[in-house]
Amino acid sequence: MAMESRQDGRVEPATAPATDAEILAQLDRIRRSAEFDAPERDRKFLTYVIEETLAGRGDRIKAYSIATEVFGRDSSFDPQTDPAVRIEAGRIRRALERYYLVAGRSDPIIISIPKGAYVPIFERRFDASPPSDRSANEGAGQDPPAPLARRRAWLAAAAMVCIGGGLTAGALLLQKDSDTVTSMAPKIPRLVVTPFQDLSGSPQSAMMTRGLMDEVVGSLAKFKEITVATRDEADASPQGGPAFALVGGVRFDGERLRLVARLLHRSDGSVVWANTYDEQMEAGNAIDLQARTAAAVAGAVAQPYGAIFQASAAAFKQSVPDDWQAYACTLSYYDHRGDVSAQSLAAVQGCLQQATRQVPTYATAWALLSMTYIDAFEGRLYRSSSATLERATEAAVRAMDLDPQDVRALEARMLTLFFRGDVDAALAVGARALAINPNDAELAGEYGFRLALSGQWDSGCKLLSETVARNSGPAGYFEAALSVCAYFGGDYVAAERWARMADLRTHPFSRVMLLATLGKLGKGAEAQEERKWIETNLPGLLEAVPRETALRLRRPQDRQQLLDGLRKAGVPIPESEFEQARSDSSIH
């Protein structure tokens, strides 16, 4: 028998490599465990890389092969611009780490995927003797092997923290892929959806009521800024954070369905929001009707600026409990959308920086922090440094690593890619986010604007228009975007009207668009006044217009149309820039 020496001088039998049968048995054990917290696509991912490795095809395991053979992506998949495989690999690593810390402490085979690679590693646990033998050895005072001792040390430390802080073990995150972090889950509002009342009492109305409630719960659960439950438990926020209940009554008379929905404070039963939804029944449209009504309810209740956010913001203006500070910072970002001043941005950015330090696993906080960097970069694009965009990118990637399904994280990533000039990748990420939650007006507006600026004016501006109609918060940002839509649609009167309504006084691109609009309308005196304002308050902007234009507008003909408006407003556009836009436009 082969022998190997230990540092303490003792000699132990060399560990035999794990057999294929043992590895597949271990894979099955992991997949069946409730402690392996990974979605089905990640289970398929893990199975694929293990089976390929055992078949001797480990050299074929690349991000591209995983994306096409496991995730069903087409041949256009580019791992350099699409981080989907890397993100899912990170989730699998964390799920495996949790499994071996909790349920798999005694498993004989350890499966891991090294960071930076996708080919798994199989190791036999050094003390993989039967449980009774291992217990006897440990009882006799023998030290457990080093890897196992380290895992037990983690568990012991976790237990001490949980006992000392009055927490549960599930609230502690041990993250291996980055610096080790011990953190509570972020405090976010809890919404309990109680069973809807069937007010008609017929078998068909009972079925419609159950189906409608299921659709509402599914639509609400797509918003990561709230926790959705269907059991009316005791208030889960004893520290004073917001908790709500959604109640509803459904009346169905065969031709018309009516849902009366109310959002209540669970603390005192007061009504936060209420609305009535009427739908006309037609043959075969029951499912579409339920989905449409559920989308309207979820959007009104859970989206940014929706009823829950407004109620939470109002409560936190009085006082913010210590463990709700991180969530309060996310609310402050949405307030900032109505106030684009540098002072407002700096305050919100500082708050979110603190939030990510306090709760480093809070994906939404990282996403919104990224968007503050984007706001800083975009708001002063003509004199911003690339370092600002890099910080935005890092925060967005961190958010996506933490939660690839967080729509706000995907929105932040879309924006960073757009301003890096990778428009196709940005639109792909935006489309993925919209597919996850089509009821999120904030996302739909940003995605619509990026579509429009890329030259897809009809579809992009349609999304923007719907966003303004659905969004109950500050509309100035999206009204300014509609001004851009009107300008490139040739409706300069509407473009000026939207720009005046938006009133984004210090937003450089909005001022440039207003100036170009005045030029197109032939309003020379107003254009001169606007130009003087820009030169005084945003010095250097007009000289940087070609760069601003190139970074925002993808199509040469659109750049030419903007430069033409500015030239008519009296802005001295270099002939070379104008001719370049005209030349590019003729080529396309």
- Ranges in the chain, pLDDT < 50: 1-15, 127-183, 234-239, 585-588
Pick from 305, 307, 281, 293: nearest CA to 219:
293
| Alpha-carbon span 184 to 181, nearest angstrom | 10
Please name each of the domains of the chain with its CATH number: 15-171 (no CATH), 190-312 (3.30.160), 320-412 (1.25.40.10), 505-588 (no CATH)
How much is the pLDDT for 370?
Answer: 95
Q: Determine the residue type at 354.
A: Q
Residue 353 contacts residue 332 (beta carbons within 8 Å):
no
- Tokens 């496991």 identify what position? 70
- Number of other CB atoms surrounding residue 29 within 10 Å: 17
Q: Are 450 and 459 in contact (CB under 8 A)?
A: no
For strands 243-252 and 190-193, give the pairing: parallel
**Predicted pLDDT at 133:** 37
Amino acid, res. 50: I
- Convert the pLDDT of each residue in 84-130 to its tens digit: 788 888 888 888 887 887 788 888 899 999 887 899 999 887 544 43
The DSSP secondary-structure symbol of 144 reads P
pLDDT score at 153: 37
Residues 6+ apart with CB under 8 A from 539: none
Distance CA 491, CA 503 (A): 19
User: Encoding tokens for residue 137?
Assistant: 């050895």
* Burial group, residue 22, by CB count within 10 angstroms (0-12, 13-18, 19+): middle
pLDDT of residue 115: 80
- pLDDT score recorded for residue 473: 62
Q: Which residue is it, tokens 């926020």?
A: 237
pLDDT of residue 184: 59
Distance CA 375, CA 344 (A): 11
The pLDDT, as a whole number, for residue 303 is 87
In this structure, the number of other CB atoms found within 10 A of the CB of residue 342 comes to: 12
H or E element that contains 512: helix 508-521
Per-residue pLDDT tens for 158-214? 333 332 333 222 222 223 333 333 345 788 899 999 999 999 988 888 888 888 998
Task: Say whether 454 sits in a helix, a strand or coil.
Answer: coil
Sole residue written with tokens 């409990």: 321
How much is the pLDDT for 256? Answer: 83
Question: Apex CA 386: angle with CA 384 and CA 387, to 5°?
Answer: 100
- What pLDDT is attached to residue 582? 53
The 10 Å Cβ neighbour count of residue 194 is: 15
pTM to 2 decimals? 0.66
